Amino acid sequence: MNKKPVIIGIGELLWDMLPSGKKVGGAPINFAYHAARSGAESYAISAIGNDLLGNEILQEINRVGINHIIEKVNYPTGTVLVELNDGIPNYTIIESVAWNFIPLTEPMRKLAQKADAICFGTLAQRSEVSRNTIRTILSLVSKQAYRILDINIRQHYYSKKIITDSLRSCNVFKINDDELNLLKAMYEKQHLADEEVCRWFLKEFNLKFLILTAGADYSSIFTPDNSSYIKTPKVKVVDTVGAGDSFTGAFISSIIDGKSLFQAHQTAVDRAAYVCTQAGAWV
């Protein structure tokens, strides 16, 4: 029997403070959750505070069965204020919180060396402590493993240097259409069509996959010698929180499982569409 793939999400772990109440969130942790739902042995790496919100997050993570290395630090557990406009979230992210200070530990180092895939973003790299931890963990992951950059641009918490350094550390790049437009300007590629820019990123950073999601319209996945395009199915949207993370988790799990590009893409589309019909990211 084949062993389960080991998949890691490292970065922000927080409470999404939704109009309907609070839900555990954070893109890399959502990714780990959906990878687990797809059959992987997945792990969340992050930090929480020595507080009630931190204890409640641990209870919730244990309840849904996500493996984790979550350190307690002397900063408050992260929260994000989420406003919904027709189901589309707008985030206000609180600063100086626990996930900005993820310490590097020996269990993290050991886990990284076993990983078949790891997902990280730019948001948790807004602070030097977590950025150094993420970079060190990435350096320990096998060259054959999938290293997924889900860029996850929020507010002003990004820079061209952090994005470029992250692209050099990944071999899978996940981006949405709004983020693509921002990067077109950042890398002076406004004159290129979307597919041409995606192909440029693939070649420039030697990527295995580039995943482009365009919300309710479509998603495309590019490889150096192939591509897949699927229109987004029409569903009754409750909210889109975590939809992109579920897409990435389902896609990578499917690729590791040996599915073709198109099969893995379809699995990801179906998973994300279902998540949009439910409240919050963990369904």
Helices (H) then strands (E): counts for the chain: 9, 13
- Answer yes or no: pTM beyond 0.85: yes
Predicted local confidence at residue 2, as pLDDT = 56
CA nearest to 65, candidates 48, 43, 50 = 43
Predicted local confidence at residue 162, as pLDDT = 94
What single letter denotes the amino acid at residue 191?
A: H
Predicted local confidence at residue 87, as pLDDT = 67
- Note whether 142 and 115 are within 8 A (CB): yes
Report the Cα 44 to chain-centroid distance in Å: 11
What gap in Å lies between CA 115 and CA 43, rounded to an integer?
A: 10
CA distances from 103 to 66, 137, 276 (A): 20, 11, 33
pLDDT in 10s for each residue of the chain, 283 residues: 458 999 999 999 999 887 778 888 888 888 998 888 888 899 999 999 999 999 999 999 999 888 999 999 999 999 988 787 776 767 777 789 999 999 999 999 999 999 999 999 999 999 999 999 999 999 999 999 999 999 877 767 789 999 999 999 999 999 999 999 999 999 999 999 999 999 999 999 999 999 999 988 999 999 999 999 999 989 887 766 678 888 999 999 999 999 999 999 999 999 988 887 876 666 7
Predicted local confidence at residue 215, as pLDDT = 85
Q: Domain extents for the chain?
A: 6-276
What gap in Å lies between CA 268 and CA 262, rounded to an integer?
A: 10
**Interval 209-226: pLDDT, tens:** 999 999 889 999 999 999
What gap in Å lies between CA 274 and CA 236, rounded to an integer?
A: 9
**Can you name the CATH fold of 6-276?**
UDP-N-acetylmuramoyl-L-alanine:D-glutamate ligase (3.40.1190)
Q: At a CB cut-off of 8 Å and minimum separation 6, what does 141 contact? A: 112, 113, 115, 118, 147
Predicted local confidence at residue 13, as pLDDT = 94
Query: Which tokens sit at 30?
Result: 């959502």
Which helix (H) or strand (E) covers residue 69, if one does? strand 67-73
What single letter denotes the amino acid at residue 265?
A: H
Predicted local confidence at residue 280, as pLDDT = 60
Report the Cα 138 to chain-centroid distance in Å: 14
Predicted local confidence at residue 9, as pLDDT = 96
Predicted local confidence at residue 1, as pLDDT = 40
Can you give the three-state secondary structure of 24-58, one letter per residue?
EECHHHHHHHHHHHCCCEEEEEEEEECCHHHHHHH
